[in-house]
Structure 1
């Protein structure tokens, strides 16, 4: 983008900003953005391009739509902004590039960054103030990362296991883990679906280890042999499904024919009536 870089941050009225490339966003994530800005403030100003009109200056948004919407939700009238001189077309391109370049980081990667802040000398209370998280949560994250417990770390971040239970599991021997889960159940920390999820996570940890494997999601070119092999495997699978369906159809036809013959037997009717078996399911009755 060909633009003159901003030299300072200015407070500008939100009402004078036009969002030229608006996009929708996840409501839950947006609520988290609002809460975070409300607790610890704005970490990075928005970027706008100034336009002069007869009524005074107005601004086209280059990047920071979520931050503006969060400020509006928090009842603010002004927002900190870096003001650049750029054409409208350049603003569109810059906004598009920002959206395309936004990295989709794993939760584990973000939590590793928190542990990295601690390694760089930031204290736990300071990290808590900077991130809006509790000190207890930060301590748990650092402890789990130091022990290589990525699987438990992900479960804590997803809310599947309380961090206190994750720390107990991380520090327990295999034979002590069931006792930790039982204690969590009795303390009402894990009940119902969460208890089932916790048991599944513990079992996966036992079978596959503490870490999470990262698979390369980039598409690999397929050779003609690989395509042919995949096609043959799919064809074989469909043939097996057809074979099983035909076998089931034949068995059902035999059962219906046998029942039809039995119900025509006059000696069977008194026995059925004596046993109280005088009705037949409607779906089956239509076939007889």
Structure 2
């Protein structure tokens, strides 16, 4: 791919001549802030576009970066916007747009995934992706490995600071083996990689990964999202998985309780053990447990 492009020039371009090349979602709060800033102090940085021609030979422009500013101008009722016009190929324009979205300091984690995935699909190496996005090559490599495993939920957690990238990789390597995943968390805690609130957040992520799967869905930016049959079915299936997991946990706890009750009954039938408990003034136990050990009401 050619990296060469002209230095560009600033022009006033009609909004209806600009086509968004790589559209993305934006929360209403963030968008409203962009609109207020532009209304108060004007456009501090022009958008970036590259010229093309439509089927009728009329000049149009592909938006490379500045979608929020473009939509803010539309919301304010403007007809033209200052734009830096550069001459680049379609592929260069697309890659520049992806890289700009990924490199933003406040990008959404799922935008990072989408951008890196598209760059990988186009055949870019870890090194070239790192150069284009400003991310560390090792970080890009680990993200790509997690993407290949379908671990979107873990990647989002990494981007939000809930789990370090090396811990996410270890958890992904454990697959769906709950004991291996818990061992990975324990190892991260003992090594100091997870501490305090971060450990709590990591456990929440793991719980969601077990109940809802590895893929992460983008939160809706509207107050009322449309409900479809697919959404209802997926919600039902997720709830069934959650309830099934709760039943399994309850059954496991019941089995452990039965083992404890059986062991206590056997120990309390030993007069020497009972005398030892009395000598240590250990003659009571929780009511819930006592009712099961002594169903007829007898006690030590």
TM-score range, shorter chain: 0.3 to 0.5
* TM-score of the aligned structures, taking structure 2 as reference length: 0.41
Name which one, 1 or 2, has greater alpha-carbon Rg.
1
